[in-house]
Amino acid sequence: MNKQKIKAGNPKTPPSTNSIKSTKNSLLKKILMYLILVLIIIIPIELASYLYIKYKRPEIIKLVDYFKSDKPIIEYQLCISQAYLNYIPTPGEVEHNIVQHNEHGYRGVLVPRKRDNADSFRILFLGGSTTYGWGVADPLKTYPEFTGKYLRENLPGKKIEIINAGVPWGTSAEILIHYLLKFRYYNADLVVINEGGNDAQAITKPTYQPDYSNWRKTLSTLPKVGSFTKALFSSNFFSVLAFHLFYSEFAENDMFVHMNEYLYAKWYEGNATTAMENIEELAFYRNINSVVSEIQNDSSKVLLLSFQGNPEFKNVLEETLYYDFNEEILRKIATDKNAFFLPFPKDAIPDNTWVDDCHLNELGEQIKGEYVGRFILNEILKAK
């Protein structure tokens, strides 16, 4: 029998332990090299972004804080959008370690909507940032609060209630809307209207529209973000990138205004000049005239307080040319409606109390508040 030779197979020799370790070490070295390379790229970018934020755009820090926190998202002007009111001061907002806005969404101490004291005297203040008190950090140092303080000191035993419903960037449009849809339900005895310079500024903008759509826009509110996006905001570079791509308007003071880029419906064929020549087409006149009528229909008295700005900016800013015109509009409405009128005390306000072109510091607010308080005491309360 022929014996068949069987060839032995040649199985692969299993890799040695040293070979496995060498492969692993090589892989680890590659990973480590890639990590080092990534760090070499990332660290300078992060450092540059950090310096950019610190020295060029510190407002990004505030933006990031909002996104990473669990409190309601707000933005530069301390306001949030609210349906039909357009916007309101953010309830519960804290600035300078002081609670600025109460839970009803206006500045200062909350006054219960329902009145529990028939003998109290409730004053509602409507206006823009000059009523809100943009130039002072303490909500108890605004002119409405100083008015209340003056009246309490001169009417001991009389309960004086103050509601500061002024809003940053407020115009006569916000005054009208906020009264009609919200503050008429607070049943004030007296409503003081002190519109600042924003209606005058509206006159200066191109393509004048009585609804101010040529200049104003709906207030945007920062959206809430998920946990992954919150984590990304830990990166300085990502924060800078996100800011410039999506959120720059929230720190540029242009959340409320624009320059014709959002004028979708040009319905008014006239211009600011034609509106001023026929005040029935002038928004400032129509809005204030309408709100005065509504206030009086609610059996409340009305005091129209005019506005004048820092004399240093007279004829420098275009809107200052219209302050006197708007003052005469208020005087006319007061005469026609049998309301009270009080001119702004520009001669009584020291130059060093202005913090900018239109806002006052604490001393200026006090002078203004006491001026209004004296008028209310002598011409309204004592004249009853």
pLDDT in tens, 141-166: 999 999 999 999 999 999 999 999 99
60 token code pair: 């990004």
Which pLDDT score is estimated for 126?
98
d(CA 45, CA 106): 42
> Per the structure block, which two tokens stand in for 126?
């409507």
Query: Is the pLDDT at 109 greater than 70, yes or no?
Result: yes
* pLDDT, tens only, 186-211: 999 999 999 999 999 999 999 999 99
Query: Domain spans of the chain?
Result: 83-220+255-381
- Burial of 43 per CB tally in 10 Å (0-12, 13-18, 19+): exposed
pLDDT: which is higher, 72 or 343: 343
Does the model's pTM come out above 0.95?
no
Fold of 83-220+255-381: Rossmann fold (3.40.50)
Is residue 74 pLDDT above 60, yes or no? no
pLDDT, residue 76, reads 52
| Distance, CA of 264 to CA of 259 (rounded, Å) | 12
pLDDT tens-digit map of 285-336: 999 999 999 999 999 999 999 999 999 999 899 999 999 999 999 999 999 9
Q: At what angle do helices 283-297 and 323-337 cross, to 10 degrees?
A: 30
pLDDT at 3: 52
The segment with the largest mean pLDDT, out of 112-126, 230-244, 246-260, 282-296, is 282-296
When comparing pLDDT for 252 and 336, which is higher?
Answer: 336
Q: Can you give the pLDDT at residue 331?
A: 98
For residue 84, name the pLDDT band (cuts at 50, 70, 90). Answer: very high
Which residues make Cβ contacts (< 8 Å) with residue 162, sequence separation at least 6?
108, 109, 111, 123, 125, 144, 145, 147, 148
Q: How confident is the model at residue 279 (pLDDT cuts 50, 70, 90)?
A: very high
Buried b vs exposed e over 6-24: b needs ≥16 C-beta within 10 Å?
eeeeeeeeeeeeeeeeeee
Of the given ranges (30-44, 86-100, 169-183), which has the lowest mean pLDDT? 30-44
Residues of the chain with pLDDT > 70, as a percent, come to: 90
SS3 per-residue string spanning 292-328: HHHHHHCCCEEEEECCCCCHHHCCCCHHHHHHHHHHH
> What is the C-alpha separation between 41 and 364, in angstroms, rounded?
53
pLDDT of residue 212: 95
Please spell the DSSP secondary structure of 189-201, one letter per residue: SEEEEE--SHHHH
The residue to which tokens 């070499």 are assigned: 40
Cβ-based burial of 357 (10 A; exposed 0-12, middle 13-18, buried ≥19): middle
Phi/psi of residue 275, nearest 5 degrees: -65, -40
Q: For 76-85, 312-321, 345-354, which range has the lowest pLDDT when averaged over its residues? A: 76-85
Yes or no: say if 123 and 173 are a contact pair by the CB < 8 Å rule: no
| The amino acid at 255 | M
253: left (phi over 0), alpha (psi -120 to 50) or beta: left
